[in-house]
Structures are given as structure tokens and as C-alpha cells.
Chains A and B, each alone.
Chain A
Amino acid sequence: MAEEKKFKKNKLGLAGWFAGGRYGAERYAYILHRISGLGILFYFILHIFVTGSRIGGPEEWESTISTFKTPVFKFGEFLVFLAFAYHALNGLRLVLAELGFGLGKPTRPVFPYVNSIRRQRPLFIAVMIVAALIMVFGGADFYLLGN
């Protein structure tokens, strides 16, 4: 029994993330959301094993983390922190939009049109400001304050 394909084949593949047409800010937010998500997932799986090494006791833990106390790893951790701040705040916007918050009631399409972009753009700008603040605080904590 031949199974019927429900969807058209995705011909663009990964290139479609970047070269699918004239993109607005939300589309770039989507691309960055995926890239930051992949980066966080990669870090997270390694993180499970690194933090799992504390099963060997305090000495083994200290020797494990001493491997990662170099400028390169510190910068890598900072990148993960930036990805976290972006992904968390943009994800908050996506959840709010998914659940229908802040989109307003459906209205007749009378000029000037209130489209979804006009409704959602202020929320996008607001969450990006919060994300930028967290990134600035994180940068200060990583590189200016303390040790």
C-alpha cells in the first residue's frame, strides 16, 4: 500500500533558514533561536557528563573543573550564557504568542490594517531589551567583577 506524502518536500533544506525570501525581524529571530538552541543542546549534553564527574568526590571534581579554567573555555561559557539569554527571552515571546496572549481580538481588515507583525513587534522589542540587559549583567559578571 503506497503511503501518500502529506507534505511537499523541503527543497531548500538548511539553506532555507537563510535564503528563503525577504525576511522580517521575526524570521531572523527564528534562525537565531534555532542556532542558539543547537549550541545550548551541544553544551548541555557535555555538561551532563562533566557535572556527573562529581560522583568521584570533591578531589575528582576539582581536577575536572581545573581543565576548563582557561580563557578559551571561559569565552565558550560566555557564549553559552548569551545563547541562554537570547533563547530564554525569545522563547518566552514564542510561548506567549502560541497561547494567544497579547495578540488582540480578531478584527475586520480595515485600513490601517492591524496585522500580527504590528501586534507582536512591540513584544519582540521588549523581550530583546530584557535579553540585552541580562547579557550586559552576564558580561560584567564574567569579565569585570570578582576573580
Chain B
Amino acid sequence: MKESTLWVWHIIAGVVIFVLLGIHMFIMHLDDILVALGIGYHDPISASSVFARSKQAFYMVTYIVLLGAALYHGLYGLRNILFELSLPKAGEKIVNWLFALGGLALFVYGTYVAIAIFTSV
């Protein structure tokens, strides 16, 4: 794929993460402030909160989208940093394959977890 195409996807993924991770951080870490404003709930990482979210279609879908976008954005960013250090050609090839396969493996694992818990009774 053309390098400029990968860069455009990096930016698109960044915008997607900006929205979804913004929501995620408000729910997980600004929970007490949201409760004070009357729109959030306490203890977002307790088992009951976690499983209640995991069983909603909205969260299942956005978890998978955020997982894919964040993996692409993060690994492409690290690839950029590594390539800037003037790697030999073989090194660039290794990084490409390692990141593509590693990212795909993490995406498959995370997606499996999100779907398995959403569909379990």
C-alpha cells in the first residue's frame, strides 16, 4: 500500500480514537464528576458495571472499532518512529510483518472477547 494512504488512515484512526477514547475516559476516570453532574455512575470497573456495559450492543461494537483504530494508530506511530531511525531494508520488512501480524492477532483476541461476552447469557 502507498505510504501516503497509510498516513491518511493514521489520521482517520486518530479522529475515531479522539471521540471513542474521549467517551471511554469520561466514563472510566471522570465518573465522580459525571455523578456530581447527575449523568454518570460510580465504580465503573466493578464486575457488575463491566459486564453490564459488555452486554450492550453499543459498547460491544465501539470496543471493537476502538480496538482496531487504536492498534492501527499506535503501531503505525511506532513504525514511523522506527523507520525514521534509518533502518536497513531488511529491518523495515521485519517491522512491517511483525506489526501487521501482531496487530492482527491482538485485534482477533480482543474482538473474540468482546463478542463472546456479548453473546454469553
Interface residues of A (CB under 8 A from B): 3, 7, 9-10, 13-14, 34, 37-38, 40-41, 44-45, 48, 51-52, 54-55, 58-59, 61-62, 65, 77, 81, 84, 88, 91-92, 95, 98, 137-138, 140-142, 145-147
Q: Which residue of A lies closest to B102 (CB)?
A: A45
* B22, B75, B113: the one within 8 Å of A52 (CB): B113
A37 touches B31 (CB 8 A): no
**5 further A-B pairs in the complex, CB-CB below 8 A; given A54-B54, A55-B113:** A9-B86, A37-B78, A41-B77, A48-B67, A146-B32
User: B residues bordering A, Cβ < 8 Å?
Assistant: 11, 14-15, 17-18, 21-22, 25, 29-33, 35-36, 42-43, 45-48, 50-51, 54, 67, 70-71, 74-75, 77-78, 81, 84-86, 89, 106, 109-110, 113, 116-117
The prevalent SS among residues of B at the interface is helix
Residues of A within 8 A of B77 (CB): 34, 37, 41
Secondary structure call for the A interface: helix
In the assembled complex, the Cα of A146 lies from the Cα of B69 at a distance in Å of 32
Contact between A141 and B51, CB atoms less than 8 A apart:
no
- Which of A13, A88, A92 is most buried by chain B, counting CB atoms within 10 A of its CB? A88
CB <8 Å contact, B50 and A61: yes
- Complex Cα–Cα for A95 and B11 (A): 7
How distant is the Cα of A37 from the Cα of B10 in the complex, in angstroms? 13
A141-B106 in contact given A40-B74, A61-B50 (Cβ < 8 Å): no
**Contact partner of B81 among A34, A52, A91, A95, CB < 8 A?**
A34
Q: In the bound complex, do residue A48 and residue B29 qualify as a contact, i.e. CB atoms below 8 Å apart?
A: no
Return the contact of A54 from the options B15, B29, B50, B71 (Cβ within 8 A). B50
Q: Which of B84, B110, B117 contacts A48 (CB 8 A)?
A: B110
- Given A10-B84, A92-B18, check contact A52 B110 (CB 8 Å): yes
